[in-house]
Structure 1
Amino acid sequence: MLNKEEVGITVSKKEDFSEWYTQVVLKAQLADYAPVKGLIVLRPDGYAIWESIRTILDEKLKKTGHRNGFLPILIPESLLGKEKSHFAGFNPEVFWVTHSGDTEIGDRLALRPTSETLAYSLYSKWIQSWRDLPLKINFWNTALRAEIKATKPFLRTSEFLWQEGHTVHATQEEAESEVLAILEIYKKTVEEELAIPVITGKKSNKEKFVGAVYTTTMESIMPDGKALQMGTSHFLGQNFSKPFDVKFLDKNNVENYAWQTSWGVSWRLIGATIMVHGDDKGLVLPPRVAPIQIVIVPIYYSDKDAQRVNQKADEVERLLVSKGLRVHVDRRDELTPGFKYNEWELRGVPLRIEIGPKDLDKQKVTVARRHNRQKSDLPFDKIGSEIGTILQQIQDEMFTAAKKMLDDRTVTLTDYSRFKPELEKGHFIKAPWCGNATCEEKIKEETMADIRVIPFGSENSTGKCIYCGQQGSADVIFGRAY
């Protein structure tokens, strides 16, 4: 049997955040390192979390008229050259296929870092008239980008799971509405399912997606004070439709270039969930996305008690499964209850139900909440009616705690002399900015912080730019990112 030092978290989240994160990923059995540097293997619990996110998003996207498609992994270099300025931003990260067996191929093939060029070369064939619009396709893909220096599971890996949507519209107005609608879907998913609050708005021109007219984003802060981009939605305008000839005949039989959007989130959301909610005991999962929402631990020390305790555990399991909940009964006789408690806390199961002989005598179970480690008694006849409410309370309390962290770590400044000291404390900084890229670049150069988001509604600032002192154009959020 493994001892506690081998299976438990051995560092404090506050004292060594990076090592703590890595240990949680590995020891909570979410992922492991692959034989190739920069790649990870997703284990069943990690994949189950991704499946929950995917299922939730997929349902919302289909309700809004989006359909799923599939794209191949290889893109010919000659095709990528049709939008050189866009692809230049990815070129340093591209993996290239140069041989088929021992034979050198003519046109190099890129392992897809993103799919704009591939999708739009096909869209130009599929779209002929206004009747073909809007075209709204989502792809559940992997992408490959060479991250081999500063890798971190779920946050920076050379291959990652994501979804990327690519839509085509007849009008600018319709395309821009799509951008905001998708961002709102993302926000509701992250806040309601992952219990992580986000700040939504636009990226600066310097930070926007290469090839976009503008990029909208949702940002959050992690417990180590760094910013994490949780998802983006881009208005591409006609920047891709023109080089790729994505055109249509309108109702007056006049040919027009289409208007386009693209958007995506990745398994980075799993990394955010680990960081925001985890503690020194390990993973803490929101009930909505937990692979196992409830673990039942039967407790007995004699054969006489074993039969009746296990019988009750099975009964409770059937009841909860009938409610649509994900339940597991830990029937491993070779392990002590205490060992089981520690293991399930490490793996982040939101709710633990303990059933022993004394509980049977008192017609109740003991319920332990993972997020705050509080225990309470629950009568047998209340299990079916109250467990769902308890899980929702856990979900709500986790969001409230995360929102408090975001609020507490966001400071408003007008004095640049305080900028760097507040960053060192692990804060987001909200401050007026004049809109000049020079000030943005100087701040980045001097502090390693960039503009994470220009929040919606923060435009027309009445303050003075925190760097140059000129009239501000918006109150923006600065932060250091992964």
Structure 2
Amino acid sequence: MTSNDADSSSMAALKLTDDQPKAEGAAPSTKPAKKAKEPKDQKAAVKSKADKPSQQAKKKMGEPELIGITVGKNEDLSEWYQQTILKGDLLEFTDVPGCYIYQPGSYRIWEFIQEFFNARIRKMGVKNCYFPLFISEANLQREKDHIEGFAAEVAWVTKGGKTKLEKRLAVRPTSETAMYGFYSKKIRSHRDLPLKLNQWNNVVRWEFKHPMPFIRSREFLWQEGHTAHMTEEEAGIEVRQILDHYASIYEDLLAVPVVKGKKTVNEQFPGAHYTTTVEGYIPAVGRGIQAATSHCLGQHFAKMFDIQVENPNQEVKEGEKREKLYVWQNSWGFTTRSIGIMILIHGDDKGLIIPPRVADIQVAIVPVGVNAKTTDADREKLYDDIKNIAATLEEKRVRVECDFREGYSPGYKFNDWEMKGVPLRIEFGPKDSAKSEITFSRRDQEGKGTMSLSDIGTGIPKLLETIQSDMFKKASDEYAEHRKQITEWKDFVPNLNQKNVVVVPHCATGECEDEIKKDSSGQVEGQEVDVRAPSMGAKSLCIPDEQPEEIKEGTHCINPKCSLASVDVMKLMPRKTI
């Protein structure tokens, strides 16, 4: 099964300069990050305020310093990304390069994805299971084409304690070869079909390029589904059902738009009959990214592992045996790469922006207006009111956190929750209490609003859904704006240089695909490739399911060296996938 993290291309524009955390990421409380340069007018404004510190500022002298995101997303995407995931408490580095700690903030997102997907595949008759982490070398080597796709990334165990193993063991890069021996034993009759198993596990692919947390790592989390069917038609129906579920995870949970389609022969999973995919787009770098894949494996693995049944539809005479038929198999996988895609698309210069449906904390309530003159009784009453607000929201299944931390100013708390991407922040103080209302701030927008206390039970859940839909619309509009349909080669490279994903007519032959990749990587017929572009050239993402409405008869392949008509095939062709 293809992993979303297994794309062999590296992403130069997002390359982390060092796999280990930088000082400000590893220990922000002990070694502050270097501040980004400020415009002169901004420096002057800051200096002016600093010349006359207010009484309130003096009280904050002993307050812990909040170290926010110190670099803009468009200024240095790599550094921004690293700071965002570390300071947003999503992930932490370890002493093993490419292997990371998933903190509760990110693991909760993964749990929401699990819950969403499990509910849907169980309706399809899929059952969860677990297979061993280790695969024997003999088993892994049974399928030549398959293992060649992973050979360079397989991690091997050669010793057990102090004893050298007689036969080394592979740490699973995927589980086809680990599972299909069991399928051969389990499937004895057509009555045993379909067999539908899924496992949530970790896999290891010893990526030697620059690891990028969530996006490309040596160990990552995923689900891998493996199913066996009687016919190609049954297998094909499931492939598309799963692809629809993957698209729903991105669009309905993560607020990330994707394009569904089919991989070209050059890009499909090794050993597959065909591969379907959902493809995203990262505006910050203008490149596509493989988001998830669902494969029809055909009968290839069934023949390799001797998974066959008697033909139930064959009419036979007494004493005759029915012919044996190989089953049709599928495999499909979705990984924690999805979290990285979500971060890259929605995050801003302040840090994370988490869609409400996958946010561990949807609403943070911050007390305001509390100062040295506030009596204990007034403070206690205010806190009780905030707890009542939280209780009202929790009854409506809103995930709420009351921020009663002592020694931190409201401003510190505001920045902290913004950096962590909490969708909605509520401010509540004596003035709000007197008006019987709350003040709120949406993370995805600037500005503040108010809402009556009597309305929060219905108003806040509705507002969270509005935030979810607005985030998806914003990302969808940006993707659509950068998806350009072109038919002439002269427009190909210029559109790529403008950070667009281009939709082009194509003959769907591997030779033309290779030529386009080669010819878009350098000087071609007066077209100069952007000097910041990778040398590998354009790479196809997919043949989209939704084809352009009008393709003129006789439209030729985008490759000027090709004389074939496009046969109504259009491809998304980014400069390079992530």
- Per the normalisation by structure 2, the TM-score is 0.81
**Could you tell me which amino acid in structure 2 is paired with residue 424 of structure 1?**
N
1:189 aligns with 2:249: yes
* Distance in structure 1 (CA, Å) of the matches to 2:208 and 2:229: 38
Partner of 1:349: 422
Partner of 2:454: 381
Aligned-pair CA distance for 1:56: 0.9
Aligned-pair CA distance for 1:461: 5.0
Partner of 2:302: 241
> Contact between 1:461 and 1:475, CA under 8 Å: does it hold in 2?
no
**Could you tell me which amino acid in structure 1 is paired with residue 278 of structure 2?**
M
Q: Which one is further off, 465-474 or 281-290?
A: 465-474
* Distance in structure 2 (CA, Å) of the matches to 1:111 and 1:444: 33
Aligned-pair CA distance for 1:411: 1.1
Q: Which of 545, 548, 553 is matched with 1:456 structurally?
A: 545
**Could you tell me which amino acid in structure 2 is paired with residue 476 of structure 1?**
K
1:229 aligns with 2:290: yes
Aligned residues: 482
Q: Which of 524, 535, 559 is matched with 1:467 structurally?
A: 559
Aligned-pair CA distance for 1:417: 2.4
1:297 aligns with 2:366: yes
**Could you tell me which amino acid in structure 2 is paired with residue 186 of structure 1?**
Y
1:10 aligns with 2:10: no
Within-5 A mapping of 1:303-318: 303=375, 304-318=377-391
Q: Which one is further off, 200-209 or 54-63?
A: 54-63
* Distance in structure 2 (CA, Å) of the matches to 1:245 and 1:344: 56
1:426 aligns with 2:499: yes
* Distance in structure 1 (CA, Å) of the matches to 2:332 and 2:447: 40
Aligned-pair CA distance for 1:59: 1.2
Matched residue SS, 1:242? helix
1:258 aligns with 2:327: yes
> Contact between 1:148 and 1:157, CA under 8 Å: does it hold in 2?
no
1:335 aligns with 2:430: no
Aligned-pair CA distance for 1:457: 4.1
Partner of 1:476: 571
**Could you tell me which amino acid in structure 1 is paired with residue 378 of structure 2?**
D
1:435 aligns with 2:508: yes
Q: Which one is further off, 417-426 or 168-177?
A: 417-426
> Contact between 1:129 and 1:250, CA under 8 Å: does it hold in 2?
no
Matched residue SS, 2:246? helix
Aligned-pair CA distance for 1:445: 2.1
Partner of 1:135: 195
Partner of 1:400: 473
**Could you tell me which amino acid in structure 1 is paired with residue 238 of structure 2?**
E
* Distance in structure 2 (CA, Å) of the matches to 1:243 and 1:319: 59
* Distance in structure 2 (CA, Å) of the matches to 1:455 and 1:140: 28
> Contact between 1:31 and 1:42, CA under 8 Å: does it hold in 2?
yes
* Distance in structure 1 (CA, Å) of the matches to 2:250 and 2:206: 27
Identity, % of aligned positions: 42
List gaps (5 residues or longer) in structure 2: 1-27, 36-65, 315-321, 521-536
* Distance in structure 1 (CA, Å) of the matches to 2:451 and 2:124: 41
> Contact between 1:37 and 1:148, CA under 8 Å: does it hold in 2?
no
Aligned-pair CA distance for 1:210: 0.5
Q: Which of 125, 129, 132 is matched with 1:65 structurally?
A: 125
Partner of 1:103: 163
> How big is each residue's C-alpha offset from its partner over 1:204-228, in whole Å with a ceiling of 9 and x where there is no partner?
0000000101100000101221211
> Contact between 1:455 and 1:475, CA under 8 Å: does it hold in 2?
yes
Partner of 1:275: 344
Partner of 2:172: 112
Q: Which one is further off, 353-362 or 93-102?
A: 93-102
> Contact between 1:38 and 1:148, CA under 8 Å: does it hold in 2?
no
Aligned-pair CA distance for 1:425: 1.9
Q: Which one is further off, 452-461 or 346-355?
A: 452-461
- Per the normalisation by structure 1, the TM-score is 0.97
Partner of 1:416: 489
* Distance in structure 2 (CA, Å) of the matches to 1:235 and 1:111: 24
**Could you tell me which amino acid in structure 2 is paired with residue 353 of structure 1?**
I
1:74 aligns with 2:169: no
**Could you tell me which amino acid in structure 1 is paired with residue 180 of structure 2?**
Y
* Distance in structure 2 (CA, Å) of the matches to 1:456 and 1:363: 52
List gaps (5 residues or longer) in structure 1: none
Partner of 2:113: 53
> How big is each residue's C-alpha offset from its partner over 1:310-359, in whole Å with a ceiling of 9 and x where there is no partner?
01110011111111121110110210000000000000000111100000
Aligned-pair CA distance for 1:424: 2.1
* Distance in structure 2 (CA, Å) of the matches to 1:464 and 1:12: 43
* Distance in structure 1 (CA, Å) of the matches to 2:323 and 2:439: 71
> Contact between 1:413 and 1:431, CA under 8 Å: does it hold in 2?
yes
> How big is each residue's C-alpha offset from its partner over 1:140-190, in whole Å with a ceiling of 9 and x where there is no partner?
010100113311000010000000000000111000111001001111121
RMSD in angstroms over aligned alpha carbons?
1.6
User: 1:349 and 1:70, CA in 2 relative to 1: closer, same or farther beyond 3 A?
Assistant: same
* Distance in structure 2 (CA, Å) of the matches to 1:67 and 1:234: 18
**Could you tell me which amino acid in structure 2 is paired with residue 472 of structure 1?**
S
Matched residue SS, 1:476? strand
* Distance in structure 2 (CA, Å) of the matches to 1:340 and 1:249: 67
> How big is each residue's C-alpha offset from its partner over 1:70-112, in whole Å with a ceiling of 9 and x where there is no partner?
0111000101121111111100000011111222212221100
